[in-house]
Amino acid sequence: MTRFTFYGGAGEIGGNKILLEDKDARVYLDFGQSFNFGSDYFYDFLQPRSVNGLECLFEFDLVPRVQRLYNPGSLRFTNIAYEKPDVDAVFISHHHSDHVGHLGFLDEDIPLYMGHATQKIIETYGDLYRDLVDIGVHNNVGTFRSGDKIELKHMLFRPVHVEHSTPGAYGYVIEAADDQNIVFTGDFRRHGPKQEYTDEFIREAAKAHPCCMLCEGTRMTPDPETQYSESQVYEKVKGIIQDSKGLVFANFAMINIDRFNSFYKAAEECGRTFVIDTKMAYILDSLREKIPDLPDPRTDENLKIYFRLAKSCRFCDKDYYVYERKYLPNMVTYKELNNAQKEYVLLTNFNKLMELVYIQPRNADYIYSSSEHFLEGEDNEDMRTVLYNWLSHFKIKLHKTHCSGHAGKADLEYAIKKIKPDVLIPIHTQNPEEFRKIHENVIVPDKWGSIEI
């Protein structure tokens, strides 16, 4: 018998935190933070004190009150006494915070397993955003590559890469007791340049004839499907750059390497230089050892690194952080962009709008190529108004093009029909009941509830 307990990821998009118990083995699949974490109780400066660890989070049942799981520091002000952990391991699907965000609470002796690229991305983001990305201290982090096998007691975990909106994403095929196999998809899609990764995962999962499949369903909604692929995004970006009579601004999530490649290639095809910031340069630099074919931000002819005007006003190395200085030889500033606006595509985001005052764009275009939430959500109307005011002030034309990091309904159905699990458990979705339309034996998990197979 296998038991799953859903401390997160049930009835919500994200927040995966799933305890899998099989005979005497106890492992977690992901240990993430929900996207709306704490929003019912905390606001602006009303926030839990990090020094108090889990005390305040237990008060509102925001983190499960489970014994023998957390580290002594996190338990210090709680009424749970520290005991050695009884969890054998945590298996991570990928680095997004809704899958790793609460790792920092865990006892440091619990072994973690993650993809080699996942570890590199977490390390790189930790260097750049020390206060934001912190998975805590862990004494035993095992990294794997797609196809590796990890033995744990009587179980065998086989991670297989999948395509998602970030590199280093994996699903798992898990051999449990009594020759029962379990499939855990993580987050995946199959409409980008790495579709073959997901298809390989689907093949491996199908071969296992699983008794049960935990399947993400971010885009499983009752609405009609609109599906864009990464190659359609690339074509649209290229068309906008070709038609533009000025500077083109690009706004996308930096770790979306497929999107970076789409803009980089489109700029190159149109004879323009792609200008990125020092953070993106640092990310490319650190991921180059893991992802072949990424351009070298120090020497690539089609890339330049933007340096903002700083204290000395002379663009000298003392003005910048140590990690930024190695990109100074490939520097470009507002002056070059101002003088030759049609020759560049500039990576930007909301917080960098101030550069427009220096660049003084003329006839420019702004391509918003990230989650629709920013432009359509109800909770950020103020920010959106500020963005629109800036674009209007500089007479910049706004364009939108994006495709999701998650499989659409047709691809979810394709995966499920190929894998043919006996039981289907929808996770990472707000519409689990929709899965009943494509599988006859769906068990919908409840938050903090258990399912036994």
CB-side exposure of 264: number of CA atoms within 13 Å?
A: 21
Beta pairing partners, 274: 303, 345
- For the CB of residue 94, give the shortest distance to Zn ion in the complex, in Å: 6
Contact criterion met (CB below 8 Å) for 57 and 95: no
- For the CB of residue 125, give the shortest distance to Zn ion in the complex, in Å: 14
Give the angle subtended at the CA of 429 by the CAs of 381 and 158, to the nearest 5°. Answer: 125
Q: Which is nearer to Zn ion, 213 or 240 (CB)?
A: 213
- For the CB of residue 334, give the shortest distance to Zn ion in the complex, in Å: 35
Burial 321-340 (b: 16+ CB within 10 A, else e): eeebebbbebebbbebbeee
- For the CB of residue 78, give the shortest distance to Zn ion in the complex, in Å: 28
Q: How far apart are the C-alpha atoms of 164 and 183, rounded to whole Å?
A: 17
Burial 65-87 (b: 16+ CB within 10 A, else e): eeeebbbebbbeebebebeebeb
- For the CB of residue 99, give the shortest distance to Zn ion in the complex, in Å: 6
- For the CB of residue 14, give the shortest distance to Zn ion in the complex, in Å: 5
- For the CB of residue 95, give the shortest distance to Zn ion in the complex, in Å: 8
Q: Which is nearer to Zn ion, 8 or 14 (CB)?
A: 14
User: Measuring CA to CA, which residue among 152, 161, 115, 142 is closest to residue 21?
Assistant: 152
Contact criterion met (CB below 8 Å) for 309 and 358: yes
- For the CB of residue 97, give the shortest distance to Zn ion in the complex, in Å: 9
Q: Which 3 state secondary structure label does DSSP give 274? A: strand
Give the angle subtended at the CA of 362 by the CAs of 394 and 327, to the nearest 5°. Answer: 95
Q: How far apart are the C-alpha atoms of 30 and 304, rounded to whole Å?
A: 37
User: Measuring CA to CA, which residue among 291, 271, 100, 115 is closest to residue 194?
Assistant: 291
- For the CB of residue 230, give the shortest distance to Zn ion in the complex, in Å: 16
Q: Which is nearer to Zn ion, 15 or 111 (CB)?
A: 15
Q: Which is nearer to Zn ion, 424 or 427 (CB)?
A: 427
Q: Which is nearer to Zn ion, 126 or 239 (CB)?
A: 126
Around Cβ 299, how many Cβ atoms within 10 Å? 9
Q: Which is nearer to Zn ion, 22 or 187 (CB)?
A: 187
- For the CB of residue 228, give the shortest distance to Zn ion in the complex, in Å: 18
Place of tokens 């096998």: 149
Q: Which is nearer to Zn ion, 132 or 313 (CB)?
A: 132
- For the CB of residue 7, give the shortest distance to Zn ion in the complex, in Å: 15
Q: Which is nearer to Zn ion, 14 or 159 (CB)?
A: 14
Q: Which is nearer to Zn ion, 17 or 409 (CB)?
A: 17
Give strand ranges (E) for 135-188: 141-144, 150-152, 155-162, 169-175, 181-184
Q: Which is nearer to Zn ion, 160 or 275 (CB)?
A: 160
Binding site for Zn ion (CB under 5 A): 14, 96, 98, 187
Would you say how long the chain is, in residues?
453
What single-letter DSSP state applies at residue 237? H
Computed on alpha carbons and rounded to an integer, the radius of gyration of the chain in Å comes to 23
Contact criterion met (CB below 8 Å) for 243 and 254: no
Cα torsion through 27, 19, 212, 94, rounded to 10: -70
Give strand ranges (E) for 318-404: 331-332, 344-347, 365-368, 397-400
Q: Which is nearer to Zn ion, 135 or 241 (CB)?
A: 135
Place of tokens 């994006």: 402
